[in-house]
């Protein structure tokens, strides 16, 4: 497409072409492309999908021969009916523009649709096979629903008719405490919000400020496969599988099927049916309880009647009480009579023995027995006195002999024969003269506690020669003491 006259710069007088700056040329191309392709629909396969932290989505559309870069701004990404993935064939609606910073052209997408229901169904079947191979759909992992939950958690849109249908049905059947976690049930961020809601309910504690639900219901009204696609996302399926709280999926109408239906503990065809599965009918439950109570009462009455009849029958076979006690009573009377006679005989026997014993007790006999005892006691006293006197004499003689021996061995007797003991000022015995020095004070002890003090003058007598001592044959006899 040719540029307009306003966009074409005038030629220079010298015939040279006009010199564009890079920015001028890039913006001119941008205006030209946007004017020529104001709004287009492009079909292609998604490749290189990337979500930026800003919320924008970047991708490429490709076919057999070409590649077209694309971008979905954050405001448009939140309105998407399904979550785009690599390999999915889609139809994009938007405008073609350029990116001067990299000399690239791209499509700014404001609407994204699958290339057909067949593409989504193929992706759905692929995911279904993947999850089935991992065992997420196995019946062994499914939990039983509580018969009468105290708290029910509902994950759905707060503005739709689904929550009203659930609350109305619960009110009719059996009113319960309901906690609703509001989420989007359609669009690009719906899957993430549903995942957070399921995980959030499971993270609650039973003793917390918000009670932990005993049952979860994930619900949404009917719609196309694109509208229900959020419930086919992997994060939603895995959150439902990991839920420790029993979960009922009630997504779409009875003919609609999503992957969360296979992984949940129970699937309800509609949200209303999910409420019916969650609780029993209160009136029917009361009627059942009353019927069971009456049946129990009748059964107890029959049991008592049967027991009474059996007891009456058994009582007829028992003998009379008088017959049972006749023989023991007669035996008791016989033993009582024998006991009375035995007691009387025993008393008479001991009375006779006492009379015989008292007859043998005479005054003279008692006096003679006392006298003999006194004589014997006096004889024992004399013998004891004699033995004590003899023992004292023996001990005294032995003590005197020991004392004489001690005196003969003590140094006082030696001193009495003319010897003396020399002690230093500290009381030590001087055993040799060379242990004293001139000027040392000493104390000389003689016999009979006679002591004098002296001072060493320093002179000493020459040592005497010791006479050889002949060894006596008696030397080997040892000390007698």
Give, in order, the Cα–Cα distances in Å from 108 to each of 27, 36, 267, 477: 17, 15, 40, 137
Beta bridge partners of 107: 70, 96
Residues 376-418 have pLDDT tens digits of 888 898 899 999 999 999 999 999 888 888 877 777 777 766 6
Residue 459: pLDDT band (50, 70, 90) is low
Give, in order, the Cα–Cα distances in Å from 101 to each of 3, 98, 197: 22, 9, 41
Pick the CATH number of 22-115 from 2.30.40.10, 2.40.50.140, 3.50.70.10, 2.40.160.60: 2.40.50.140
Report the pLDDT averaged over residues 176-181: 94
Residue 481: pLDDT band (50, 70, 90) is very low
Q: How far apart are CA 337 and CA 427, in angstroms?
A: 102
Phi, psi dihedral angles at 430 (to 5 degrees): -85, 120
Q: Cβ(131)–Cβ(259) under 8 Å?
A: yes
pLDDT for the residue numbered 471: 52
Residue 3: pLDDT band (50, 70, 90) is very low
Regarding predicted confidence, which is higher, 338 or 460? Answer: 338
Which residues belong to CATH 3.40.50.261 in the chain? 122-135+149-279
Q: Is 122-135+149-279 CATH 3.40.1440.60?
A: no
Which residue is it, tokens 């913006």? 27
Beta bridge partners of 323: none
pLDDT for the residue numbered 467: 55
Residue 6: pLDDT band (50, 70, 90) is very low
Rg (CA), the chain: 64
Which residues belong to CATH 2.40.50.140 in the chain? 22-115
What angle, rounded to 10 degrees, do the helices at 234-242 and 190-203 form?
A: 10
pLDDT for the residue numbered 296: 94
3-class secondary-structure state, position 336: helix
Residues 72-128 have pLDDT tens digits of 988 888 777 677 877 778 888 888 888 777 778 888 888 887 776 566 777 788 888
Judge whether residue 202 has pLDDT over 90. yes
Q: Which of 66, 64, 61, 65 is nearest to 42 (CA)?
A: 61
Sheet (strand 177-182) strand order:
177-182, 151-156, 215-220, 247-251, 266-267
Q: pTM for this one?
A: 0.47
Residues 307-316 have pLDDT tens digits of 999 988 888 8
Judge whether residue 219 has pLDDT over 90. yes
Report the pLDDT averaged over residues 22-31: 81
Percent of the chain with pLDDT over 70: 88
């Amino acid at each position: 497409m040719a540029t307009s006259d306003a966009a074409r710069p005038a030629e220079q007088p010298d015939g040279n072409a006009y010199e564009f700056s890079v920015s001028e040329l890039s913006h001119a191309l941008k205006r030209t492309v946007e004017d020529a392709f104001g709004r287009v629909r492009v079909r292609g396969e998604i490749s290189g999908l990337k979500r930026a932290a800003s919320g924008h989505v970047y991708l490429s559309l490709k076919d057999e021969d070409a590649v077209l870069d694309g971008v979905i701004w954050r405001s448009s990404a939140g309105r998407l009916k399904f979550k785009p993935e690599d390999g999915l064939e889609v139809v994009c609606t938007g405008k073609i523009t350029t990116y001067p910073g990299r000399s690239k052209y791209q499509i700014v997408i404001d609407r994204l649709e699958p290339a057909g229901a067949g593409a989504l169904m193929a992706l759905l079947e692929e995911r279904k096979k993947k999850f089935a191979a991992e065992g997420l759909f196995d019946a062994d992992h499914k939990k039983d629903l509580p018969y009468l939950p105290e708290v029910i958690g509902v994950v759905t849109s707060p503005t739709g008719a689904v929550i009203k249908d659930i609350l109305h049905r619960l009110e009719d059947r059996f009113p319960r405490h309901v906690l609703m976690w509001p989420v989007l049930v359609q669009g690009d961020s719906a899957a993430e919000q549903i995942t957070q809601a399921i995980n959030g309910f499971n993270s609650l504690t039973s003793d917390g400020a918000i009670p932990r639900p005993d049952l979860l219901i994930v619900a949404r009204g009917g719609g196309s496969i694109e509208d229900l696609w959020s419930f086919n996302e992997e994060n939603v399926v895995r959150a439902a599988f990991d839920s420790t709280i029993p979960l009922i999926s009630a997504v779409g109408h009875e003919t609609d099927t999503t992957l969360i239906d296979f992984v949940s503990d129970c699937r309800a065809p509609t949200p209303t049916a999910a409420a019916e599965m969650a609780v029993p009918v209160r009136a029917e439950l009361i009627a059942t309880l009353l019927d069971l109570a009456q049946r129990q009462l009748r059964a107890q009455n029959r049991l008592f009647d049967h027991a009474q009849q059996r007891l009456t029958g058994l009582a007829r076979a028992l003998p009379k009480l008088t017959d049972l006690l006749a023989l023991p009573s007669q035996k008791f009377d016989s033993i009582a009579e024998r006991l009375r006679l035995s007691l009387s005989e025993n008393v008479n026997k001991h009375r006779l023995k006492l009379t015989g014993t008292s007859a043998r007790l005479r005054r003279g006999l008692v006096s003679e027995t006392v006298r003999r005892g006194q004589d014997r006691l006096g004889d024992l006293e004399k013998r004891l006195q004699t033995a004590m006197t003899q023992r004292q004499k023996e001990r005294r003689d032995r003590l005197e002999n020991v004392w004489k021996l001690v005196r003969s061995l003590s140094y006082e007797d030696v001193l009495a024969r003319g010897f003396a003991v020399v002690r230093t000022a500290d009381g030590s015995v001087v055993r040799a003269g060379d242990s004293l020095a001139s000027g040392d004070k000493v104390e000389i002890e003689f016999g009979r506690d006679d002591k004098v003090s002296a001072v060493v003058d320093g002179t000493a007598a020459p040592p005497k020669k010791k006479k050889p001592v002949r060894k006596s044959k008696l030397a080997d006899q040892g000390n007698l003491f």
